[in-house]
């Protein structure tokens, strides 16, 4: 007779198998799960991006403006930001520049996620310090790849 496997062992194996499939970008840094701050004023876009990230095991917080995001950054530091360009008040480009020129926030990776799809916008985001640029609508695969490159 073969080796007996307990129900706990089988459940653990299934859990590991499913985790490998459904959580490709879960990252542990000092045993803490990865967190993202989404700065997006569109409720629909925010819901889609949140869903994509949560499906990958990432804890998500969100803000609808740069000003709100700045307040959140003062109390909790995310592992990366997902930043829209067109926001009420300060634009995402301006906010990205402010974060990348501030000693305490310059090393937080920023992914710009915008409907703006010109080479000039992509170049401008790079010049302001953004680490990646995604054009909406974003697929889950595109987002996963961008995040993986930044936090792996």
Specify the pairing of strand 80-83 against strand 110-114. Answer: parallel
What is the pLDDT confidence band of residue 152, given thresholds at 50, 70 and 90? Answer: confident
Domains and CATH numbers, the chain: 27-151 (3.40.50.2300)
* Interval 14-57: pLDDT, tens: 554 544 444 444 444 444 579 999 999 999 999 999 999 999 89
Structure tokens at 23: 């959580």
What was the pLDDT predicted at 33?
A: 74
* Interval 123-146: pLDDT, tens: 999 999 999 999 999 999 999 999
- Asked if 61 and 76 touch (Cβ cutoff 8 Å), the reply is yes
Could you tell me which residue, 152 or 54, shows the higher pLDDT?
Answer: 54
Say what the pTM is.
0.79
Q: What percent of the chain has pLDDT over 70?
A: 79
Beta-bridge mates of residue 32: 29
What is the pLDDT averaged over residues 63-80? 97
Q: What percent of the chain has pLDDT over 90?
A: 75
State yes or no: pLDDT of 89 exceeds 90.
yes
What was the pLDDT predicted at 23?
A: 45
Calculate ∠ Cα 116-112-107, nearest 5°.
155
Phi, psi of 44 (to 5 degrees): -65, -50
What was the pLDDT predicted at 24?
A: 46
d(CA 87, CA 118): 18
Could you tell me which residue, 34 or 8, shows the higher pLDDT?
Answer: 34
Q: Which residue has the tokens 């990348």?
A: 100
Q: Average model confidence (pLDDT) for the chain?
A: 86
Burial class of residue 100 in the structure, from the number of CB atoms within 10 Å of its CB (0-12 exposed, 13-18 middle, 19+ buried): middle
- Asked if 66 and 85 touch (Cβ cutoff 8 Å), the reply is no
């Amino acid at each position: 007779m073969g080796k007996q496997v307990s129900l706990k062992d089988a459940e653990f194996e299934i859990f590991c198998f499913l985790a490998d499939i459904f959580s490709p970008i879960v990252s542990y840094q000092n045993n803490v799960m990865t967190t993202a701050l989404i700065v997006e004023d569109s409720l629909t876009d925010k819901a889609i991006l949140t869903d994509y990230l949560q499906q990958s095991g990432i804890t998500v917080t969100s803000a609808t403006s740069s000003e709100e995001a700045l307040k959140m950054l003062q109390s909790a530091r995310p592992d990366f930001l997902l930043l829209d360009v067109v926001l009420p008040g300060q634009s995402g480009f301006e906010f990205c520049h402010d974060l990348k020129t501030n000693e305490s926030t310059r090393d937080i990776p920023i992914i710009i996620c915008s409907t703006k799809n010109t080479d000039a916008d992509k170049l401008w985001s790079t010049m302001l310090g953004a680490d990646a640029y995604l054009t909406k609508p974003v697929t889950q695969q595109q987002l996963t790849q961008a995040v993986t490159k930044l936090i792996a």
